[in-house]
Structure 1
Amino acid sequence: MSATASHDDLVEYGFRRVIITVTAVLCALLEIVDTTIVNVALTDMRGSLGATLTDVAWVITAYAIANVIVIPMTSWLSQQFGRRNYFAVSIVIFTVSSFLCGNATNIWELVVFRFIQGLGGGALLVTAQTIITESYPAAKRGMAQAIYGMGVIVGPTLGPPLGGYLVEHYSWPYIFYINIPLGIIATFLTLTYVRSPKYAEKLKSNQVDWWGIVFLASFIGSLQFVLEHGQQDDWFEDTTIIVLSVVSVLGLLAFIWRELTYAHPIVNLKVLNDGNLRVGTFMCFILGFGLYGSTLIIPIYTQQILGWTATEAGMLLIPGSITTAIMMPIIGNLIQKGVPQTYMVALGFLIFFFFTLWMHNAMTPDTGEEHLFWPLILRGIGLGLLFVPITTMALSTLQGRSIGEGAAFTGMMRQLGGSFGIAIITTFITRLGQEHRVALGAHLDVNRVEVQDRVHQLQQGFMAKGFSANNALEKAYQVLDFGLTKQSTVMAYMDIFLYLGVLFLCCIPIILFIRRGKNKVDPAEAMH
């Protein structure tokens, strides 16, 4: 009774509710936009900071790892410091670290500041939803979730084109500087209008699962380093890789033991006793793996191989994102009408398989926008069929407090899947690219008549531009080498999409293990 009263006390009306809604949606947008805005700037970051593709991928994964670590801690931090104070401090951390990201002088400074930014941003998405929900009376909670949900959908849509525009017309640091004025406004509005609930019980500092946090961070951080640097450091031939692999395994085992035995675990693993949640979290991991992985590949492919500008690369993703936004209310209505989520998820995975197969066949060194438009529309449809149904299906047999714990778990696993996907995909791009280069190089025998004719043709072209015979010959071989590298990289991208498609196709039979839940779950829960 007291808990209900406490939540009712937070209901706002009129101007205050409008301001609180705008503030919360703004903060959610900041967090989501910064997840995708860097994708189209990776090429420019590599050039200005002198980083490799593997190194620059850490700009994305560091942010995602920090999100995963801090999300399970959000509930305790809100209780300990008050939701308003915690929310405001998170915005400040996010804003200050954005400034530091823009001023980074090397890739590892940028990675560290992005990790700090992720610690601040991790609280924004979860807490913003809670603030909006509690600001509306029970009868209008559906409207509140619709407003918040549209913000969540618009965020990924805005990120790539906004990032592309800023990179093309200014420079990549401005993708971080844009957060500063918005962060200052959000902090002021939060301190002025947002209120904290009166918590009936606060965890004491000695009850915090510090060891759980340490074990979780050591497991994720070590594993991520192994995935990112294993290829370039020759995997288990390198001492550092071996040591961190051991740390990762021990960290995982220690984390599982700690969470199952501690009275106040940072992540309640016991909720995984529910079969639907186990299957759902696995599929969330796969969804994050494929979703974030394909989002990473497409901008790099269009800029690096096709020579597009950052803005053009970002604009390419807009139609598919709009398609997903259109799909969301349709899927919500279908769920409310009782259409089984298993059918939607199976269809969604099948559509994602066709998307990856289409991309595999469409990718060439000269692919045009018209060849990528419809595959990305198909991807948008598949994403709409997967995002909310997977989570509501995972939560369908949970009740009470377990629903919230399960929702947080699925969100965390989706983020982890994205981190693993980016790390593994960048590693495979390097390895597969090298393999294809060796295979293609075997056909470039200088003794073959076709190769000699091509070299001679190129040499004559350079000589016509005023180069000497020797310089022209050298440039002719450089052109052949560049073409070889370009083609081998495209073939690596094609392989990645094919492997992702097989992965999605293999997920369809797993849905057979899902049992129909008796209780209805609000689709809004899926937005965690």
Structure 2
Amino acid sequence: MAMHPDRRKWAIALTVIIPTFIEVMDTSVVNVSLPHIQGSLNAGLDEVTWVLTSYLVSNAIIIPITGWLASLFGRRNYLLFSIVVFTLSSVLCGAAPSLEVLVVARVLQGLGGGGLQPLSQAILLETFPVREHGVAMAVFGMGVVFAPILGPVLGGFITDNWSWRWVFYINVPMGFLAVFMAGLFVHDPPYIRTRTVRIDHWGLALLTVGLGCLQVVLDKGEREDWFASHFIVTLSVIAVVALAAFIVVELRVPHPVVNLRVFRDPTFAAGNITMFTGYFCLFGSIVLLPLYLQNLMGYTALWAGLVLGPGGLASLMIMPVAGMIMKRGVPPNRLLAVGLTLAAVALGLMSRLNLQADFFSAAWPRIVQALGMGLFFVPLSAATYVNIPREHMGNATGIFNLLRNLGGSFGVAFSTTVLSQRSQWHQNTLVDRLTPYDLPFRQAMDKMLALMGGDWSSFYDRKLALAGIYRETLRQATMMAFNDTFWLFTWFTAALIPLTLVMRGPQKPTTVVMEP
């Protein structure tokens, strides 16, 4: 007996969300396990970070060509293949006897998992009718947004109570369930079954080299002191040349591996710019806030997690609400403008944090930001594809998800770099005033000596007092650097609000030309 259409669409939604959730979670679940992996496999710090980098590189390469691969092999076959490769490589990761085997297994895991996000999004957009795209993207967004929040918590718990190897083994039962459900519920639309595909060798090669080098630069740049490193400079040049050549090739060949002509649609172009910059600010700030709490405020990892936790719950609560509001006819760009405004306000609040901030003062901006991002992801995902024909949906979702991931990577690299540079600048500025001729400095010395029970006549007492003042100076300089970085993210987010005016809804079909 045939399944009712409403039940079928929700069965398909559950089918594609399960593998997507575990794939996204794997981008962050391993982070807290790195020290244990390092000790277990006798690896150095720089060596063990390739466990993260290898996954991100292979993931980034696959995401934009997902639509092409689905056309080549069939969407259902490629989905099943991706889940199987991801699951089996997870077993290999858990059983890895050496770091070299683990890195190779992570590359395979990234290659298998890279297509799951764009495939899931494309399948959901085709399964749900247009008026329910907001609901579909709310379901997708709950998995994509909550997974990286849950990842470090789950990874820490498993590593502490069992072993780091179980961080990978937990993917296996969910992978088998996903394979069973995908085989049962997912089927190819007619246009994918009948379409012929030619291989764009040059485009594929240039994309692989360009994105691979770019992801390594973003992941390793801060650790290698950016362009002071010959390694980073070399990879940066290769990435720029390869990606520039890739764009030229893709706009000229008749059957590109990534169809960049979708950017002729202004709504799609504006949506991708907004997604890249939005995740640039989101991931940059998510990295900064725990550092602020633990390094400056003395929070433990648990308490820092408790500050971030309510934000994750707020996003989970607001996303279904956003989907239902859009289903009632509210234009997505209006919700998007509200979401961006809330996110900008939240970042502005973070830029005003000081060393006397209490728990609520730190948690409240994160809650506001999470509400804003819930009203950001759902309407943006629904509005971006409104003029994209179904036969190009896989290509479009691949580009969209690539820019989302790259936005996060750029945001993390930007935030850590600006934080470091502004800390040095503020430190130099404050230290210039630490002289005996400066009245506030003498008053601070008097207070420190009084607290210590010392006096000016003792060289040892003055040295201890000066050390205490210098430590506080470093804290103040770092605090102001955090404030500066949050303030930059505030303006980057606010600058996106005018773009919502471009995303006004469906245009005439003739306005979007996909083929040369």
With normalisation by structure 2, the TM-score equals 0.78
Q: CA deviation at 1:86?
A: 0.7
**Unmatched segments (≥5 aa) in structure 2:** 510-516
Q: How does 1:316-465 map to 2 (within 5 A)?
A: 316-362=307-353, 364-445=354-435, 448-454=441-447, 456-457=449-450, 460=453
Q: CA deviation at 1:427?
A: 1.3
Given that 1:164 and 1:313 are in contact with CA atoms closer than 8 Å, whether structure 2 keeps it comes out as: no
Q: Residue 307 of structure 1 aligns with which residue?
A: 298
- For 1:330 and 1:17, how far apart are their aligned partners in 2? 19
**Residues 123-154 of structure 1 deviation map (CA, whole Å, 9 limit, x = unaligned):** 333445667889x8x89x969x9689547415
Given that 2:66 and 2:395 are in contact with CA atoms closer than 8 Å, whether structure 1 keeps it comes out as: no
Which amino acid is the alignment partner of residue 416 of structure 2?
T
Q: Residue 66 of structure 1 aligns with which residue?
A: 58
Q: Residue 124 of structure 1 aligns with which residue?
A: 116
- For 2:488 and 2:292, how far apart are their aligned partners in 1? 17
**Residues 452-499 of structure 1 deviation map (CA, whole Å, 9 limit, x = unaligned):** 4355346548xxxxxxx8887766555444333332222221111100
**Residues 251-270 of structure 1 deviation map (CA, whole Å, 9 limit, x = unaligned):** 12211022122333221101
- For 2:393 and 2:428, how far apart are their aligned partners in 1? 52
- For 1:50 and 1:445, how far apart are their aligned partners in 2? 42
SS in 2 for 1:379: helix
Q: CA deviation at 1:189?
A: 6.0
**Unmatched segments (≥5 aa) in structure 1:** 1-7, 462-468, 521-528
Change (3 A) 1:397 1:86: same
Which amino acid is the alignment partner of residue 373 of structure 1?
A
**Residues 265-301 of structure 1 deviation map (CA, whole Å, 9 limit, x = unaligned):** 2211011111111111111111111122122222222
1:259 to 250, 257, 277: 250
- For 2:45 and 2:145, how far apart are their aligned partners in 1? 25
Corresponding position: 1:248 with 2:239: yes
SS in 2 for 1:28: helix
Aligned pairs, how many?
494
- For 1:112 and 1:430, how far apart are their aligned partners in 2? 33
Q: CA deviation at 1:348?
A: 1.9
SS in 2 for 1:358: helix
Q: Residue 501 of structure 1 aligns with which residue?
A: 490
Which amino acid is the alignment partner of residue 449 of structure 1?
R
Q: Residue 514 of structure 2 aligns with which residue?
A: none
Given that 2:28 and 2:151 are in contact with CA atoms closer than 8 Å, whether structure 1 keeps it comes out as: no
Change (3 A) 1:456 1:361: same
Corresponding position: 1:95 with 2:90: yes
SS in 1 for 2:258: coil
Larger mean CA deviation between 493-502 and 170-179 belongs to: 170-179
**Residues 167-193 of structure 1 deviation map (CA, whole Å, 9 limit, x = unaligned):** 378549956623413324523662687
With normalisation by structure 1, the TM-score equals 0.77
Change (3 A) 1:351 1:472: same
Given that 2:79 and 2:119 are in contact with CA atoms closer than 8 Å, whether structure 1 keeps it comes out as: no
- For 1:92 and 1:172, how far apart are their aligned partners in 2? 23
Q: Residue 479 of structure 2 aligns with which residue?
A: 490
- For 1:50 and 1:173, how far apart are their aligned partners in 2? 23
Q: Residue 526 of structure 1 aligns with which residue?
A: none
Given that 1:365 and 1:490 are in contact with CA atoms closer than 8 Å, whether structure 2 keeps it comes out as: yes
2:199 to 193, 200, 208: 208
Given that 1:215 and 1:251 are in contact with CA atoms closer than 8 Å, whether structure 2 keeps it comes out as: yes
Q: CA deviation at 1:342?
A: 2.4
Change (3 A) 1:337 1:180: same
- For 1:505 and 1:481, how far apart are their aligned partners in 2? 36
Kindly, what percent of the aligned residue pairs are identical? 28
State the superposition RMSD in angstroms: 4.4
2:24 to 22, 32, 38: 32
Change (3 A) 1:209 1:174: farther
Corresponding position: 1:219 with 2:210: yes
Which amino acid is the alignment partner of residue 483 of structure 1?
E
SS in 2 for 1:200: helix
Q: Residue 176 of structure 2 aligns with which residue?
A: 187
Q: CA deviation at 1:501?
A: 0.6
Corresponding position: 1:80 with 2:73: yes
Q: CA deviation at 1:519?
A: 7.6
Q: Residue 512 of structure 1 aligns with which residue?
A: 501
SS in 2 for 1:361: coil
Given that 1:355 and 1:379 are in contact with CA atoms closer than 8 Å, whether structure 2 keeps it comes out as: yes
- For 1:171 and 1:213, how far apart are their aligned partners in 2? 41
Q: Residue 273 of structure 1 aligns with which residue?
A: 264
**Residues 379-434 of structure 1 deviation map (CA, whole Å, 9 limit, x = unaligned):** 12211221122232222233332344333322221111111111111111111111
Which amino acid is the alignment partner of residue 450 of structure 1?
Q
Change (3 A) 1:489 1:181: same
Change (3 A) 1:354 1:38: farther
SS in 2 for 1:355: helix
Given that 1:222 and 1:248 are in contact with CA atoms closer than 8 Å, whether structure 2 keeps it comes out as: yes
Which amino acid is the alignment partner of residue 393 of structure 1?
A
